[in-house]
């Protein structure tokens, strides 16, 4: 509809509602057209600078950018960059094997997350993954000091 292809929009709406015998896409087409017109009006009045100038939008940008930065700092990225060094420091014979294990686990977990992302509400999903990450970080931290002795690399 945005590209003025009303026939394709009509066909898509009919396909979406193929089980409804009495469906007519006319009301949905009118709703879509009015929504697009309202969006065009709003976009004509706004700019990218509004994300910085408007205090509410600025707060949204800061929070979302902060969350993304926090994920990168505390997440799996650390192990991608320092995993082999960390594994060698705690005395593993084959640090590369640990990196491979982490990558395999990530592929499986991302696949599971894709399957359940829209089936589980966001808050329980976020809390569950935060708990799993907390336990994982605790386990990795415990591995970093085997036998209660601080690694020689940590003392530097």
Kindly report, residue by residue over 31-70, the tens digit of the pLDDT: 999 999 999 888 888 888 888 898 999 999 999 898 888 7
User: Residue 156's pLDDT band (boundaries 50, 70, 90)?
Assistant: low
CB-CB neighbours of 10 under 10 Å: 16
- Residues of the chain with pLDDT > 70, as a percent, come to 88
- Highest-confidence segment of 40-54, 103-117, 122-136: 40-54
Q: Is the dihedral of CA 134, 137, 143, 145 positive or negative?
A: negative
So what's the pLDDT on residue 131? 84
Average pLDDT estimate for 120-126 = 82
Interval 124-151 mean pLDDT: 71
Distance set, CA 81 to CA 65, 76, 78, 85 (Å): 21, 9, 5, 8
The number of beta carbons lying within 10 Å of the beta carbon of residue 87 is 22
């Amino acid at each position: 509809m945005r590209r003025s292809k009303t026939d394709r929009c009509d066909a898509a709406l009919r396909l979406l509602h193929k089980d409804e015998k009495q469906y007519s896409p006319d009301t949905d087409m009118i709703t879509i057209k009015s929504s697009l017109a309202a969006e065009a009006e709003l976009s004509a009045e706004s700019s990218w600078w509004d994300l910085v100038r408007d205090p509410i939008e600025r707060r949204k940008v800061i929070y979302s950018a902060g969350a993304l930065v926090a994920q990168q700092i505390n997440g799996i990225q650390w192990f991608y960059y320092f995993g082999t060094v960390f594994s060698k420091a705690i005395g593993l014979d084959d640090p590369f094997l640990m990196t491979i294990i982490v990558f395999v686990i990530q592929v499986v977990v991302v696949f599971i997350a894709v399957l359940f992302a829209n089936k589980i509400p966001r808050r329980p999903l976020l809390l569950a993954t935060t708990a799993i990450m907390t336990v994982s970080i605790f386990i990795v931290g415990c591995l970093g000091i085997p036998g209660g002795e601080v690694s020689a690399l940590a003392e530097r």
